[in-house]
Chains A and B, each alone.
Chain A
Amino acid sequence: MITAERKPLEEIIAYVRPFDRILLVGCNECVTVCAAGGRKEVGILSSALQMAFLKQGKNLQVKEHTLERQCDPEYVEELSSMIDGADAVLSMACGCGVQEVARRYRDKPVFPAVNTTFMGASERQGVWAERCQGCGDCLLGITGGICPIARCSKQLLNGPCGGSTHGKCEISPDVDCAWQLIWDRLKALGLENRYEEIIPAKDWRTGRGGGPRKIIREDLAE
């Protein structure tokens, strides 16, 4: 999923300060799962903002609404009945949701209330960790199901470097050495000899190196 974290309240307050009526929009997808911008967090932020402004003598009106999916035009359309009642939109979705709202409601200021962080998985309750950088040319089939681009601090395709100690990365004892994980998995699969195949320099065009990316499915696109 896409993970996010709420921005500091101070930053959000600075965005919202010039306005009296805010439409606070959450999203039921990824940001709900990572407890950053679902219905619950919308309620909490709404309450927090209203109190913060009230303390400064201002009555901020907040309309709360959580969409099924904020990165999809069909759902974003739902806001059309509420948009006129708001001076600005505060979005708790990932950057995709924020931009979709901005695209659809051109004359309405839209502000992000969360920092979109990474594509990751839940390691345990309340802990998420990065797993994928969306390079556009997946290597997991040859690296034992562990991504060296997302999980090696130096994104070495032929690791590990000389800083791997007791299975941990040199940058922090809290970070696993991706290449230790890869090696352990290759061994578990009986694929040790695969290690010595050199992975060639990557073609980054499928990633951000090729500029903004787009997928067009001929069978689906209208």
Chain B
Amino acid sequence: MKPFEPVIVAFCCHYCAYTAADMAGSQRRCYPPNVRIVRVPCSGKVDTIHILKAFEKGADGIYVAGCLDGDCHFKNGNIRASRRVASVKGLLDEIGIGGERLEMVKISAGMGDRFADIAEQMTEKIRKLGPNPIHAARTAA
């Protein structure tokens, strides 16, 4: 049996985390290929329904990566994203997916290493948690 390789979706803000991912690349820093990046204009643009749909379609873990506190290009999009992520974590617990599969992280455009570290940590964490139970149920059905 093939070992479990989690699918991680990273919603990355165009102004910080997305550029940080680029930076990691130009620094030749490796990070797990499990992470699928979705570029968003601001972490605050990521809605509850986007996160739920990603889980519905089989993601095992998700993180929303926004700017450092005080650095949001749109003033407070990252703060809103943090609050939204906290509330969706509660909903994921209610659904039975588990809030721990979702995280909010903050990265600046220059933090290539941090981007790679987070990608590694998140992949490891989800690997330990195992597959998204929804995905498993869907495959079984």
Contacts and interface: CB of A to CB of B under 8 A. Distances in A.
Interface of A: 8-10, 40, 43-44, 47-48, 50-52, 54-57, 59
A48 B141 contact: no
Given A51-B52, A51-B134, A54-B137, 4 more contacts: A47-B56, A52-B96, A55-B96, A56-B137
B53 interface: yes
A8 B134 contact: no
B2 interface: no
A40 B56 contact: no
11 contacts: A44-B48, A44-B52, A47-B49, A47-B56, A48-B91, A51-B56, A51-B95, A55-B97, A55-B137, A57-B137, A57-B140
B62 to A, nearest CB: 13
B33 interface: no
Interface string B41-62: 0000001110011011000000
- Chain B interface main SS type: helix
Interface of B: 47-49, 52-53, 55-56, 91, 94-97, 133-134, 137-138, 140-141
Contact of B95 (A43, A55, A57): A55
Contacts of A57: 137, 140-141
A54 B138 contact: yes
Contacts, number: 46
B129 to A, nearest CB: 14
A193 to B, nearest CB: 46
B7 to A, nearest CB: 16
B141 A40 contact: no
Contact of A8 (B94, B96, B137): B94
Given A43-B49, A54-B141, A48 B94 contact: yes
Contacts of B134: 51, 54-55
A121 to B, nearest CB: 22
Leading 8 A-B pairs by shortest Cβ distance: A9-B94, A47-B52, A52-B95, A54-B137, A51-B134, A55-B96, A55-B133, A43-B49
Given A44-B49, A50-B56, A9 B140 contact: no
Nearest to A9: B94
Q: Which residue, of A9, A50, A51, A55, has the highest number of chain B Cβ atoms within 10 A? A: A51
A8 B97 CA distance: 15
B50 to A, nearest CB: 10
A52 B95 CA distance: 5
Nearest to B134: A51
